[in-house]
């Protein structure tokens, strides 16, 4: 038997009886689905609510979490650096000034290499001859060059400068033709510091030479950090007469390479 529909003849579906009555309120097709071993999801428009949407699976990352690991490593490195620097500073602080001076690259210790040339601390009048240029020790004038962080813009007498070194001063010298900007850098190291002074010096074989009694360092550049290190480590420490100042008493602030003859007002 066929049923006439607007779309043409359509065969009535065959219904197989199972002997069970459909559940109340449920169509026969649903009851038939229940009788099978598995139910087929109803198609949209077939009278049901339609197929369920698939559940998106939750992805679980199996990789490492590098953020916390990197932070942990960074903290460890920082802690190690701090501890290492602290240990280095403690060791450095416990060193003698001689050990610190010996660690300055390029420094010459004439107390070890040529002690005879600097052993004479006699006070003499007039010009003297020295083994080093600029000199780092030997006989000198009884008047010292004031070393209260003084910046001399002309050459001074080595005989006065050496007396200041004997009292523990550091003398910074430079070529007279050094650019003004470089001279200013050197002045920043010396200015305002007791037991330090500076002046130009004729005939230097390097741009800058810094000396204390028995020690000397020559460098090519005015901004070399070893200049300040030398001045800091050796000022007062390299004194041959500890506790005797060179910024008061029988001093001179004059320039010129000829030594001045002055009557001493105090020992030294």
| pLDDT tens per residue across span 136-187 | 999 999 999 999 999 999 999 999 999 999 999 999 999 999 999 999 999 9
Task: Tokens 């003859």: give the residue.
Answer: 261
CATH architecture of 106-252: 3-Layer(aba) Sandwich (3.40)
| pLDDT for position 61 | 53
Q: Look at the alpha carbons of 190, 193, 196, 197 in this order and tell me if their dihedral is positive or negative.
A: positive
| pLDDT for position 261 | 81
| pLDDT for position 65 | 67
173 membership: H or E segment, kind and range? strand 170-174
Q: In what order do the strands lie in the sheet with 196-200?
A: 108-109, 215-219, 208-212, 170-174, 196-200, 148-151
In this prediction the pTM is 0.66
What are the Cα distances from residue 69, in Å, to 60, 62, 229, 237? 19, 16, 41, 49
| pLDDT for position 67 | 73
Task: Tokens 């002055």: give the residue.
Answer: 262
- Report, as ranges of residue numbers, the positions in the chain whose pLDDT lies below 70: 1-65, 70, 72, 74-93, 263-268
Domain ranges for the chain: 106-252
Structural contact between residues 267 and 202, judged by C-beta atoms closer than 8 angstroms: no
| pLDDT for position 214 | 98
| pLDDT for position 179 | 98
| pLDDT for position 69 | 72
Q: What is the pLDDT of residues 61-78, one digit of tens each?
A: 555 667 777 676 766 666
Q: What is the DSSP letter of 105?
A: T
């Amino acid at each position: 038997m066929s049923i006439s529909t607007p779309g043409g003849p359509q065969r009535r579906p065959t219904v197989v009886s199972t002997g069970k009555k459909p559940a109340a309120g449920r169509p026969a097709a649903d009851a038939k689905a229940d009788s099978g071993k598995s139910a087929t999801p109803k198609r949209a428009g077939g009278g049901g609510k339609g197929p369920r949407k698939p559940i998106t699976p939750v992805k679980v990352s199996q990789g490492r979490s590098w953020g916390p690991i990197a932070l942990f490593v960074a903290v460890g490195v920082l802690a190690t650096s701090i501890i290492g620097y602290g240990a280095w500073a403690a060791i450095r602080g416990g060193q003698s000034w001689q050990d610190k001076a010996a660690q300055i690259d390029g420094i010459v210790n004439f107390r070890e290499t040529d002690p005879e040339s600097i052993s004479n601390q006699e006070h003499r009048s007039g010009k003297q001859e020295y083994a080093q240029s600029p000199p780092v020790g030997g006989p000198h004038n009884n008047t010292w060059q004031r070393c209260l962080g003084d910046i001399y813009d002309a050459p001074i007498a080595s005989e006065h400068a050496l007396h200041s070194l004997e009292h523990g001063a550091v003398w910074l010298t430079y070529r007279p033709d050094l650019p003004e900007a470089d001279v200013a850098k050197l002045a920043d190291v010396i200015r305002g510091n007791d037991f330090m002074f500076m002046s130009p010096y004729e005939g230097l074989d390097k741009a800058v030479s810094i000396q204390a009694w028995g020690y000397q360092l020559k460098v090519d550049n005015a901004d070399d950090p070893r200049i300040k290190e030398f001045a800091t480590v050796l000022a007062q420490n390299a004194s041959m007469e500890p506790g005797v100042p060179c910024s008061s008493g029988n001093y001179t602030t004059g320039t010129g390479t000829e030594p001045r003859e002055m009557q001493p007002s105090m020992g030294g």
